[in-house]
Chains A and B, each alone.
Chain A
């Protein structure tokens, strides 16, 4: 296949090999993005399934106005956010408030010396508003360039910079709670 656009055209025509090729090209990106949001490997796999089923279902809707990766990331972000909303809604029905007692998430790819620190970071990421969370995950978990994040979120580059600044400010504020001297003084 020449390009991702050719692959998606083949998927539209029902080519199963093209779909497998598309999966191989994007499954790690989709899975890791979802993992950044839900912080649970089983849930991230469920979202990855949903995303690829949607890609197969709506492949004909992709008109090439954006890059294929941008379109797939957009589907992943929306599916992940909807998954979290649904999960919180069900948690409210069951316990009266969203589930905040989720066990600490240990990302399998984090360097050994950063394991404990990243657990705290992932815990605090959960508290960010959706748009700040998306900008932070795409920039720092997925390691995407800010321009691509702007394309995925359909906002300007400046807006992404502003979201990242606010996200970091909020994270620093939340981290006060976990700071070593504060814990010592408790």
Chain B
């Protein structure tokens, strides 16, 4: 067989391969596939439902932490303000204490 003939044969063969899907029918999956899918969907829905209370609990916990932080920071702010007292209030306190020092 000469080279040209071999080349042509190969080319024809390749074209046959490339066209080998012509007239192909569709394959069908097993009949159990739909029930399997529905089972998976139901399972994922159940999971979502069972996770719902956890999400609520997590949200409540976050809110509580935020409230605590706010209250604490406010408390500390007020405490600092009380510590920085003016000289006048210091004398008042002193006077007041003196008024009650009955053992002097």
Contacts and interface: CB of A to CB of B under 8 A. Distances in A.
Interface size class of A (residues with CB under 8 A): 35 or more
B74 interface: no
A21 B37 CA distance: 13
Contacts, number: 98
Contacts of B28: 28, 31
Interface string A14-29: 0010011001000110
A175 B14 contact: yes
Given A28-B26, A45-B30, A49-B33, A110 B20 contact: yes
Contacts of B21: 107, 110, 114, 118, 121, 140-141
A52 B37 contact: yes
B33 A120 contact: no
Contact of A49 (B13, B17, B22, B40): B40
Interface size range on B against A: 20 to 34
A48 B40 CA distance: 12
B13 A179 contact: yes
A141 B20 CA distance: 10
Interface string B14-47: 1011101111111111100110111011001000
Nearest to B23: A111
Given A109-B24, A110-B20, A118-B21, A44 B14 contact: no
Nearest to A182: B10
B6 interface: yes
A35 B53 CA distance: 41
B89 to A, nearest CB: 64
A181 interface: yes
A32 to B, nearest CB: 5
B37 A172 contact: no
A57 interface: yes
A56 B27 contact: no
11 contacts: A45-B29, A49-B40, A53-B37, A57-B44, A109-B24, A117-B16, A121-B17, A121-B18, A124-B17, A175-B18, A181-B9
Interface of B: 1, 6, 9-10, 13-14, 16-18, 20-30, 33-34, 36-38, 40-41, 44
Interface of A: 16, 19-20, 23, 27-28, 31-32, 35, 41, 44-45, 48-49, 52-53, 56-57, 107-111, 114, 117-118, 120-121, 124, 140-141, 168, 171-172, 175-176, 178-182
